[in-house]
Every structure is written in structure tokens, then in C-alpha cells.
Amino acid sequence: MLVISSPSGAGKTTLARRLAGEFDLRFSVSYTTRQPRKDEVHGKDYHFVSRARFAEMVEGHEFAEWAVVHGNQYGTSIATVNTSLADGVDCLFDIDYQGGRQIRQQWPAQSVLCFILPPSMKELARRLRQRATDANDVIERRLAMAHEELTHYGEYDYLVVNDNLDQAYAKLRAIYVAAGCTRVRNDGLAQALLREAAAADHKP
């Protein structure tokens, strides 16, 4: 369960989708109450729902995690997580630090948390303005929120600076591959080999 977080504009979504495109990763599509941006597709980028529907899902305990970010609500369906775990498929989450914290609390052994850092706050501001999807007051709120988000970097296992997209992706890719090779994630195979070896030793 790979969680990728960052301040808005640092590039987590671009990196996450690139990783999901290369590997057999199940991308967790979040639910949100915010309005879709230009070219965003319902069901692909987000599940866009009303505040009333979101509240119903919260009441029904349908979210593995949910949070309020920049005045809008975002949540991850617990059904998506449970299905991925049951299928043995790695799941990728493009969520903020609040969601990452909840995923870590519920699935500490399965979760790997990576925080994407901008090279500077000046560059982050430039990217948000270049994106041209938000009004100036929204951009200013996002920049103010970025400071709060950055204070939570210590809750993450890995930090990747997104100065050059290809280099940042190479690092994120290496983190994902290495995480799949940890002892805890391969303990079952190692134990099976030991049993097989022990059985072979006792054959006449």
C-alpha cells in the first residue's frame, strides 16, 4: 500500500500515475466534493460527489480514510483497499498527510509512505500559477497550506525532491521496487522454502 503525498503543485499525481502505468498497481481513485478541473474525468481522476453524498458515505463507514483539504472533502473507499488486499494487488494512494496517517494507523505492516518535496517554495508557487486552474486567492491558500503540510514530512518513510521529473520518478520507482523486496513482504516465501528444504532433508 504505497501512499504518495505532497503539497499541492509538487507533482505527486503526475508521479503516481506514471508509476501506476508502469507497474501492476491498483490506483485508488479518491472521492471528493470539489468541482472537477478542466480535463478531469469522473471515475478516473476522482469520484466527484455532492457534500450530501459524501456525508452519507462517512456515516456509513465507507471510507478507509477521509479528510478536509482546502475546504473540500476527500476520501478513500475502504472497499477499494479490501479488494486490493484480497486480490494480492499493490494499491497506490495519491492522498494528503491526513489520509496517509490514517492508512498507516490501520495497516502499519502493509503501508509505505513517500512524501514529494518541491525544490523550493518559489518554484512551488510558480507551478501553481502556471497550472492556471485556480483563482489567485485559491493559490495563496494552497501556498499557505503547503507550510502546514511540510511540517508532517517526518511521518513519512521516504522523501523525494521533484526538481527534475524524470529523476524524481527514478527515485520513486526505486523506492517501490525496494519496498517489495523487504523481508516482511517476502517472509511467506522464505518460510515456504524452509519447509520445502526441511522436507527434502528427511527423504530416504
3-state helix, strand, coil in the chain (%, to 5): 50, 20, 30
Cα distance between residue 172 and residue 192, in whole Å: 30
CATH number of the domain that 144 lies in? Answer: 3.40.50.300
Q: Provide the whole-model pTM.
A: 0.82
User: 65 to each of 54, 93, 104, 155, how far by Cα in Å?
Assistant: 12, 11, 10, 16
- pLDDT digit string (tens) for 10-43? 999 999 999 999 998 888 888 999 988 888 888 8
Instruction: Name the band, by pLDDT with cuts 50, 70 and 90, for residue 204.
Output: low
Cα distance between residue 110 and residue 103, in whole Å: 9
Cα distance between residue 16 and residue 122, in whole Å: 23
- Give residue 93's domain range: 2-201
Query: Of all residues in the chain, what percent carry a pLDDT higher than 70?
Result: 98
Q: How many domains does the chain have?
A: 1
